């Protein structure tokens, strides 16, 4: 690992630690129940370090729910993909890799927090946009010009749009690891994912 990559890894680890501390405090106290000084004290960093990573506590809270290794994640995904795989199949694998039980739980908690604290909403939108853009970039790298401009954007947008009602409770979907008794009649997450991608493969 080069000095540059070590520095990037350290910076990312610091950002994750600060974001996780902010997210934990938001769950414990609500968004109005803590300040930046509480975050840095819990994470073990200075206020200046926080300012190097985040503009405010809302941004840190939202980041905790969507943290992932973007470039490394895409490299690992594409390394194991058949050259004949369709963009829909690539995106399916990316969702299975990215949307772990822990990430889905954080995303649902984030949406719940935003309902009580509207100041969080712009940062949620920004977080989802980063996820969308990352998926779009992964698809673009894989397709290498084989599909029209805008195809990756449209496909990634359709998938992430389908996850919003799952997270805000509009659809009754049981997240991985969630006890069935908490959501009677809910559809299992894997079944929902397969159904959603079935629609994409068949062109709706």
- pTM (predicted TM-score): 0.79
Domain range summary for the chain, segments of one domain joined by +: 1-63, 65-204
Q: CB of 155 within 8 A of CB of 139?
A: yes
List the pLDDT tens digit at each of the 204 positions of the chain.
555 567 777 888 899 999 999 999 999 999 999 999 999 999 999 999 999 999 999 999 999 877 654 445 556 656 666 667 788 888 888 888 777 778 888 888 888 898 899 999 998 888 888 888 888 887 887 777 788 878 888 888 888 888 888 888 888 888 887 888 888 888 988 899 999 999 988 876
Total Cβ atoms within 10 A of residue 171: 14
Q: Which residues of 135-159 are buried (b: 16+ CB within 10 A; e: fewer)?
A: bbebbbebbeeebeeeebeebbeeb
The CATH class of 1-63 is: mainly alpha
To the nearest 10°, report the CA torsion of 166, 172, 174, 179.
140
Topology agreement, domain 1-63 and domain 65-204? no
CATH entry 1.10.1060 includes domain 65-204: no
Residue 35 DSSP class: -
Angle in degrees, 0-180, between the axes of helices 189-202 and 87-98, rounded to the nearest 10: 160
């Amino acid at each position: 690992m080069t000095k540059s990559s070590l520095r990037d890894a350290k910076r990312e680890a610091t950002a994750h630690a600060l974001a996780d501390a902010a997210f934990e405090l938001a769950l414990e106290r609500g968004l109005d129940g803590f300040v930046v000084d509480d975050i840095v004290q819990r994470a073990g960093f200075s206020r200046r370090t926080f300012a190097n990573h985040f503009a405010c506590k809302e941004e840190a809270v939202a980041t905790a729910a969507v943290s992932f290794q973007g470039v490394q994640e895409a490299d690992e995904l594409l390394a194991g993909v058949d050259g004949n795989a369709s963009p829909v199949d690539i995106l399916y694998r990316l969702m299975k890799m990215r949307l772990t039980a822990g990430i889905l739980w954080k995303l649902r908690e984030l949406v719940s927090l935003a309902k009580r604290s509207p100041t969080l909403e712009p940062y949620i939108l920004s977080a989802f946009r980063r996820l969308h853009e990352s998926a779009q970039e992964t698809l673009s790298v894989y397709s290498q010009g084989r599909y029209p401009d805008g195809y990756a954007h449209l496909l990634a947008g359709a998938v992430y749009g389908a996850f919003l009602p799952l997270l805000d409770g509009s659809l009754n979907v049981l997240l991985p690891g969630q006890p069935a008794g908490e959501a009677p009649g809910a559809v299992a997450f894997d079944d929902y994912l397969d159904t959603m991608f079935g629609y994409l493969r068949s062109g709706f």
